[in-house]
Amino acid sequence: MNLAITLLVAVALASIVGTVLQQNQPYGDYLMKFGPYWFEVFRALDLYDVYSAPWFLAIFTLLVVSTSACVIRNAPSMLREMFTYRSRVGENEIRAMREHVEWPHLPMSVEAAAIEGRRVLMDEGFKFKETRVKEGYLFSARKGSLQRLGYILTHVAIVVICIGGILDSRIWLSYQEFFGNLKVETRSIPLSQVPEESKVPATNPGFRGNVNVPEGSQSSVLFLNVRDGYVVQQLPFDVEVTDFRIEHYINGMPKSYESDLVVHDPKYPDKTVKATIAVNKPLIYKGYAIYQASFGDGGSRMQFNSWQLMGASAGTSQPVAGAVFQDMPFTVGDAKYTLELNDFRMFNINPVPDEHGKIQEKNFGPSVVFRMRDAAGQAREYENYMIPVVMEGRPVFISGMRDQVGGVMRFLYIPADRDNKMDTFMDFYHRLHDSVLIDQAVMSMLAEVNPEAAKLPAASDAIRSMVEKFVRGGYDAIGSDLEARVPKDQLERAFETSARVLQTVLSRMYVTMMEDRGVKDVGGEKDERFLADSVAAINAMVFYGAPIYLQMVSFEQIQASGLQITKSPGKNVVYFGSMLLIFGVFMLFYIHPRRTWILVRESERGARVLFATTSHRKTLDMAKASRLMHEAMVAKFGMEPTKAGLE
């Protein structure tokens, strides 16, 4: 019993961990959530796949063996005791029982006393056996014998539930992997390139896997996460998603979603099964449960403007087309890159403070998530929003960047012009890479401020160099140059002077650009804001780390339904075991086992009656039942006993 309780507690604690900690997720998710140290600790304890961990299966097996041995050992004797009456009890044994009473001299015959005793047992619902003994009768009675069956059912239920749990675990996969018949795939490769040793046949008795199926497509495989990789589970049928529908709340958050499915079974080529599934409304087909688990992108197609951020062509764009899950190689100068389109998001709900400082949920509109990978394999992740978002009263194009997946996202804000486009900023950025235009702006400023200085090549060269340093390296580059040439006590003043000169040159270049674009009345508050935001964006581009800015201009959304398909051969076994457990527990708690003996013999003045009752459960209910039966016998015999042992 102690061993069984210990094992049950261990299983319960492990099950709590398996419930709180989401199981069988990619290792990268756990690493992001717990950090390197705790990630390794939890992995060493097999907490990411508790129900298939060797120690958990060992506990389960030991619990099954221990409980089975307990049932095998005790069930036969309990079954025998359920149907026996213990009619070989002697008078001294009855009198030695704790709860007994005796009427030594009843004014009635032995037969009359036996009849009354028999009536009491029948009225109380006892089953009894009547035995003739010397000078009288012995009634051996029992009631609530099925309580023993509750003990058997409870223990059998534990065994059955454990077996069902083992059937639904990944023990078959672990067995195949242990003997080298299955290899976990860790590479991110197309399904067609997954080797055969990483594929699980459809004969796998039990599994739970996921797959994203785009609208108008079908799949006959699932992906089962195993530690830091996956295996491909093959299905005996194809699941086609003909339509996926999603409803949103006003703020853009998902409200509900459902899929129209068609199941194609090769065994029945002329017959298809059609159904609509939603969350908590699965399709059950031949023991397979198909759930609506999630949704995602199914390969949305997009059109981009690819703005150059480096070299003489910086600020110019060219059209680019791509689709989610597509990798596109490209070259900037001598550097080679790969653009990996990872996701398209129609809605992006983000917290934004309103004019009163209160946080409001706001939809930023469509965005594209992609990675820019260089020739060395290093990648940065970006998320670019399609339409400008109003931040602090001004519309800006937002691009988030992080150096590694799961890292902190940093943002680049590019100001939108009067037409809510990026063209004005990019035109300005392009002019800052044109040495001729920079030189014209510098000479114009010097001629107006100090005509004599305009004649000195050193002055114009210094200012031109400062502008070029800012475009390439931002304010940090200017500061580093001054630190190398200016004494520390004059550094702050020199930087302020350089910043004012830089601002003057940039302002002149901006005004010239706007006049060339045919814009009149340049120089108002809006232009000052736009210029200030443009300078801030150019300064931040130093840390952007991408040779291009990818601006999404149009898209064709293709959605994918996230399906979870399970095969649980142990489910019905667990259900059966749970029913046995319910019946067993109810029998243990609500059936009160009792045994009673009534011995009737002759006495000198009539009949002598000895009554005793016992139960292995000493409860208040048992004590009350004994008193009631004692009172019933007093009523039958018409007198109180002279000797009583009832509590």
Residues 189 and 272 in one domain: yes
Instruction: Give the model confidence (pLDDT) of 310-326 as tens digits.
Output: 888 899 999 999 999 99
Per-residue pLDDT band for 283 (boundaries 50, 70, 90) equals: very high
Please name which of 608, 509, 571 lies closest in space to residue 138, comparing C-alpha atoms: 608
Instruction: Tell me the average pLDDT of the chain.
Output: 88
Q: How far apart are CA 5 and CA 24, in angstroms?
A: 28
Residues 307 and 401 in one domain: yes
Whether 580 is covered by a domain: the verdict is: no
The number of distinct structural domains making up the chain is: 5
Tokens representing residue 378 in the block? 């290093």
Instruction: Give the model confidence (pLDDT) of 334-358 as tens digits.
Output: 889 999 999 999 988 888 877 777 8
User: Amino acid identity, residue 281?
Assistant: K
Identify the bridge partners of residue 103 per DSSP, sorted by sequence position: 609
Instruction: Give the model confidence (pLDDT) of 226-243 as tens digits.
Output: 888 899 999 999 999 999
Whether 111 is covered by a domain: the verdict is: yes
Q: Return the SS3 of 25.
A: coil
Q: Which CATH number fits the domain that encloses residue 117?
A: 3.30.310.80
Please name which of 102, 98, 97, 92 lies closest in space to residue 644, comparing C-alpha atoms: 102
Instruction: Give the model confidence (pLDDT) of 46-94 as tens digits.
Output: 888 888 788 888 888 888 898 899 899 999 988 888 888 888 888 889 8
Q: Which range is least confidently modeled, 29-43, 121-135, 362-376, 542-556?
A: 29-43
Q: Please say whether the beta carbons of 151 and 78 come within 8 A.
A: yes
Q: How far is CA 397 from CA 126, 526, 547, 551, in A?
A: 86, 17, 17, 9
Q: How far apart are CA 343 and CA 368, in angstroms?
A: 6
Question: Which of 133, 167, 201 marks a domain boundary?
Answer: 167
Residues 53 and 79 in one domain: yes
**pLDDT above 90: residue 138:** yes
- The predicted model gives 99-123 an average pLDDT of 89
Q: What is the pLDDT of residue 405?
A: 65
**pLDDT above 60: residue 646:** no
Q: What is the pLDDT of residue 311?
A: 85
Burial of residue 58 (number of CB atoms within 10 Å: 0-12, 13-18, 19+): exposed
Residues 410 and 466 in one domain: no
Q: Please say whether the beta carbons of 406 and 28 come within 8 A.
A: yes
Tokens representing residue 510 in the block? 């901006």
Q: What DSSP string describes 40-89?
A: HHHHHTTGGGGGG-HHHHHHHHHHHHHHHHHHHHHHHHHHHHHT------
Q: How far is CA 384 from CA 371, 399, 441, 531, in A?
A: 11, 4, 33, 22
Residues 391 and 437 in one domain: no
Q: How far apart are CA 96 and CA 612, in angstroms?
A: 9
Whether 456 is covered by a domain: the verdict is: yes
**pLDDT above 90: residue 456:** no
- The predicted model gives 592-605 an average pLDDT of 88
Q: Which residues of 301-323 are buried (b: 16+ CB within 10 A; e: fewer)?
A: bbebbbbbbeeeebbbbeebebb
Q: How far apart are CA 615 and CA 428, in angstroms?
A: 96
Tokens representing residue 31 in the block? 């690493």
**pLDDT above 90: residue 190:** no
Please name which of 417, 385, 381 lies closest in space to residue 398, comparing C-alpha atoms: 385
**pLDDT above 70: residue 24:** yes
Residues 54 and 155 in one domain: yes
Q: How far apart are CA 631 and CA 643, in angstroms?
A: 14
Q: What is the pLDDT of residue 453?
A: 58
Number of H helices, E strands in the chain: 15, 27
Q: How far apart are CA 28 and CA 383, in angstroms?
A: 19
Residues 392 and 444 in one domain: no
Query: Which strands, in side-by-side order, build the sheet including 136-143?
Result: 127-133, 136-143, 594-603, 606-614, 100-106, 643-644
Residues 263 and 152 in one domain: no
Whether 402 is covered by a domain: the verdict is: yes
pLDDT > 90 in the chain, percent: 45
Residues 78 and 136 in one domain: no
Q: How far apart are CA 184 and CA 55, in angstroms?
A: 21
**Helices of type H across 124-199:** 146-167, 171-178
The residue whose two tokens read 């780390």 is 545
Burial of residue 231 (number of CB atoms within 10 Å: 0-12, 13-18, 19+): buried
Residues 440 and 553 in one domain: no
Residue 86 has φ and ψ, to the nearest 5°, of 55, 60
Whether 481 is covered by a domain: the verdict is: yes
Whether 292 is covered by a domain: the verdict is: yes
- The predicted model gives 102-116 an average pLDDT of 89
Q: How far apart are CA 89 and CA 84, in angstroms?
A: 12
Per-residue pLDDT band for 647 (boundaries 50, 70, 90) equals: very low
Whether 483 is covered by a domain: the verdict is: yes
Residues 205 and 257 in one domain: yes
Q: Which CATH number fits the domain that encloses residue 255?
A: 2.60.98
| Residues making up the chain, counted from first to last | 647
What lies within 8 Å, CB to CB, of 218 at 6+ separation is 238, 239, 240, 241, 262, 264
Whether 443 is covered by a domain: the verdict is: yes
**pLDDT above 60: residue 454:** no
Residues 17 and 111 in one domain: no
**pLDDT above 90: residue 537:** yes
Residue ranges with strand state E in 454-588 = 548-556, 559-567
Instruction: Give the model confidence (pLDDT) of 469-498 as tens digits.
Output: 999 999 999 999 889 888 888 888 999 999
Per-residue pLDDT band for 452 (boundaries 50, 70, 90) equals: low
Q: How far apart are CA 592 and CA 614, in angstroms?
A: 11
Full domain range(s) for residue 411: 301-422+542-559
